Amino acid sequence: MLFSEITAKFMEMEKTTKRLELTDILASLFKDAGDDLKNITYLIQGKLAPDYENTEFGISDKIIIKALSNISSLSEEEINKILYKNGDLGTTAYEIGSKIRQRPLFKENLTVKYVYDNLTLLARSSGHESTKTKINIYKNLLMDSSPDDIKYITRIITGKLRLGVANSTILDSLVLAFSDKDYSDAIETAYNFHPDIGYIALLLKNNDIERIKNTGPDPLIPFKVMLAERLKSIKDINEKMNHNSAYEYKYDGLRTELHKKGDVIKIFSRGLEETTMNFPDIQKNFKDSYKFDSIIIDGESVPYNPDTGELYPFQMVSQRRGRKYGITEISKEIPIVMFIFDILYLNGKSLVNLPYPERRKILEDNFNDNDYFKLATRIVSDDENIINKFFEESIENGCEGIVAKNTSDESVYRAGARGWLWIKFKRDYEKELADSMDLVVIGAFNGHGRRTGAYGALLMASYNDENDTFESFTKLGTGFTDELLFSLPEMFSDKIVMKKPARVNTKIVPDVWIYPEIVMEINGAEITVSPAHKCAYNLIEKDSGLALRFPRLVKIRNDKKPEDATTTKEIVELFKMQKKTK
Ligand code: ATP
């Protein structure tokens, strides 16, 4: 396929923010993609491989500017001026590409494969000479491309493609392109166990529905973890579970998937990021403690004192994230214990379709607690007094609360889903507004007075996972330290976009649109019905949505993607819970 065909589709996509139209355009691209299908599914996400492979281009805006200056007769300063005017490096590259005189004709037959291969070379070049190599590859691509092509290639390299399509839209487009029946559920499950759109695309193209249905967990490939719903009392939980549940401590640490295949042990975070580098101690301790051929377990890693068994706050673990140096020292200082609460795979066999009690039994048969790995503490009971005592005990032991686990025959491991098979219960839930929320920044308002030069408030949205949109829910202006407040313009600078981004649903128009990428944890006083906001619009009341009153920032959640934010559905549940408490 020619790259210009992708470019044409990208240009069409930029003209719409409607999800159905975006889905149609992508489906027609996929139908024409031929052998390039897999690579195209990555390119439209601005990537070269599935997320969990962490392929990064490693090229800064500054290097692109240098390359553009190098190839044109313009100085870096002049290019910066054009960039300032456009606010976008892609458009700047387009302008430079159009301006270059005496350039040899660009390749009429620039193929997707050629671009993909060169981008791979660019991403892979590392070490001493890598900047030079990257500049050269980019310059060659610029010479070979039409101005429109280089606009999108530049956006891909700089991580600013921003076509407004999330994985769910891409999956829908693949279904539309290749499947006449609705296998959406099977496809979603396959994707949640094997979150590689390219892999799913090929199965669909080959009409290999059987393999899609049989796609389960695979050692060394991160899966999307199962999540919990929340309810405000043990009584409600018991009722919801039909009195079929066990209760486990809810540990306050870092969600950890541990995979082993042969001699290789890998650790992944909830966001599918490989964190083996950050936890060499867990890796080594597992290797020293157990002898499985292959296994996948799910649990929570918590810093602790092995002498007293005392659990430490989560922040002590988060210090390790992103650290490349001093890990050996830090792991000596703060030992980690992994509390294992599920098993998905053992010695060549998937266990995800077994009910939870059987999976727990397999864990008990195969694991002996030691200093580094312990099974989650639990009870099996439906006696409210016993459960309440267990809850108090969990808090005394440094946990956040408890998680109820359904014990019926239906209690499979449901990857990526927040279903009623797991229900969490925390102390805060007894208060008026239960639990904090993770919301996405979609816009900002200029600050006045003391906040001149910073933002006065941020427009925050919930994630509607049914139609893949971000719905405005509150205006956040409290809870920021001055330092954080004045650092926001810089933090947002490369996320500002000129018009309302695709997938954003709001009546309120902010001074600045922010592309939905940043997630913040927010507390609030109350959820109310509001005609101003689009969250759950028309669901509770006609011509009204839901809004959060008196929101307050807790912290920025760099570990969450916008699609991991609190969903509109959850907010509706919280609203109902809050009404019940009143
Ligand atoms: P929260 O901020 O309340 O942890 P969350 O959105 O991060 O919520 P939830 O799915 O709502 O995640 O809560 C479940 C989380 O609790 C899991 O992701 C996991 O990290 C943690 N957890 C701790 N102990 C357990 C346990 N025994 N079983 C399941 N999850 C547990």
pLDDT of residue 556: 94
Respond yes or no: is residue 250 known to be catalytic.
yes
Question: H-helix or E-strand containing 43?
Answer: helix 37-43
259 near 265, Cβ under 8 Å? yes
Lowest mean pLDDT among 87-96, 97-106, 337-346, 559-568: 97-106
pLDDT of residue 302: 94
What pTM value is reported for the model? 0.85
Identical topology for domains 46-158 and 227-430: no
Q: Which amino acid is at 416?
A: G
| Longest Cα separation, the chain | 83
Ligand 1 site, residue 360, Cβ cutoff 6 A: no
Name the one residue in this structure whose structure tokens are 């973890």: 225
d(CA 47, CA 33): 17
> In the structure encoding, which two tokens stand for residue 489, read together?
């313009």
Q: Provide the 3-class DSSP secondary structure of residue 381.
A: coil
Residue 445 above 90 pLDDT?
Answer: yes
pLDDT 10s digits, 179-189: 877 788 899 99
Ligand 1 site, residue 424, Cβ cutoff 6 A: yes
Beta-bridge partner residues of 529:
546
Name the one residue in this structure whose structure tokens are 């695309």: 201
Distance between start and end Cα atoms, the chain = 61
pLDDT 10s digits, 55-92: 889 998 999 999 999 888 899 999 999 998 888 899 99
Residues in the chain: 582
d(CA 540, CA 529): 8
d(CA 33, CA 330): 48
pLDDT of residue 68: 94
250, 261, 266, 534: the catalytic one is 250
Per DSSP, 218 falls in state B
Nearest-CA residue for ligand 1 atom 22 is 250
Distance of CA 53 to the CA centre of its chain: 14
Atom of ligand 1 nearest to the CA of 270: 18
pLDDT of residue 356: 98
- Geometric angle at alpha carbon 554, from 551 and 558, rounded to 5°: 120
Helices of type H across 294-429: 315-318, 327-333, 356-366, 384-396
> In the structure encoding, which two tokens stand for residue 86, read together?
């456009």
pLDDT 10s digits, 467-516: 899 999 999 999 999 899 999 999 998 899 888 998 999 999 999 999 99
Beta-bridge partner residues of 547:
528
Ligand 1 site, residue 162, Cβ cutoff 6 A: no
Instruction: For the chain, give the percent of residues with pLDDT over 90.
Output: 73
Instruction: For the chain, give the percent of residues with pLDDT over 70.
Output: 94
**Radius of gyration from C-alpha coordinates of the chain:** 25
Residue 331 above 90 pLDDT?
Answer: no
Q: What are the domain boundaries of the chain?
A: 46-158, 227-430, 437-580
Question: What residues have CB less than 8 Å from 108, skipping those under 6 apart?
Answer: none
Instruction: Kindly give the distance from the C-alpha atom of residue 251 to the centroid of ligand 1, in angstroms, as a whole number.
Output: 8
pLDDT of residue 423: 96
* Four-way CATH pick for 46-158: 1.10.287.610, 3.40.605.10, 1.10.3260.10, 3.20.20.190: 1.10.3260.10
* Four-way CATH pick for 227-430: 3.40.50.2300, 3.90.1150.10, 1.10.260.40, 3.30.470.30: 3.30.470.30
270 near 296, Cβ under 8 Å? no
Ligand 1 site, residue 519, Cβ cutoff 6 A: no
CA distances from 529 to 228, 386, 459, 582 (A): 26, 38, 17, 15
Atom of ligand 1 nearest to the CA of 436: 2
Q: Which fold has domain 437-580?
A: OB fold (Dihydrolipoamide Acetyltransferase, E2P) (2.40.50)
> In the structure encoding, which two tokens stand for residue 579, read together?
């009404």
Mutation choice for ligand 1 from 223, 255, 267, CB with most ligand atoms inside 8 A: 255
Instruction: Kindly give the distance from the C-alpha atom of residue 227 to the centroid of ligand 1, in angstroms, as a whole number.
Output: 7
